[in-house]
Structure 1
Amino acid sequence: MRYQWIDEYLKSMNGVSSDFKEEWNWTRYLLGDKMFAAVCKNDQGIDSLITLKLEPVEGQFLRQQYEDIIPGYYMNKVHWNSIKADGNVPDDLLKDLLEKSYRLVLAGLTKKKQKELLGE
Structure 2
Amino acid sequence: MNLEKFHAYCLSLPGVEEDFPFGEQTLVFKVMGKLFALTDVESFESVNLKADPDEIIEMRERYEAVLPGYHMNKKHWNTILFDGSIPDKLLLEWTKKSYDLVVAGLPKKIREQLNAK
> Could you tell me which residue of structure 1 aligns to residue 30 of structure 2?
30
User: Counterpart in 2 of 1:107?
Assistant: 104
Residue segments in structure 2 that go unaligned for 5+ positions in a row: none
- State the 1:67 CA deviation: 0.6
Taking the aligned partners of 2:55 and 2:40, their CA distance within structure 1 comes to: 22
Higher helix share: 2
Spell out the pairing of 1:84-99 with structure 2 (5 A cutoff).
84-99=81-96
Distance (Å, rounded) in 1 between the aligned partners of 2:54 and 2:99: 17
Provide the secondary structure at the position in 1 that maps to 2:20.
strand
Q: Percent identity?
A: 37
Q: How does 1:34-113 map to 2 (within 5 A)?
A: 34-41=34-41, 45-113=42-110
Distance across 2 between alignment mates of 1:80 and 1:113:
23
Q: Name the structure 2 match of 1:118.
A: 115
Q: C-alpha displacement at 1:40, in angstroms?
A: 2.5
State the secondary structure of the residue aligned to 1:21: coil
User: Does 79-88 or 100-109 show the bigger shift?
Assistant: 79-88
RMSD: 1.7
Deviates more, 1:20-29 or 1:107-116: 20-29
- SS of aligned partner of 1:88: coil
| Unpaired stretches in structure 1, ≥5 consecutive residues | none
Give the TM-score taking structure 2 as reference length. Answer: 0.89
Q: Report the Cα offset of residue 56 of structure 1.
A: 1.2
Count residues in correspondence.
116
Deviates more, 1:83-92 or 1:95-104: 83-92
Distance 1:87 1:102 in 2: 23
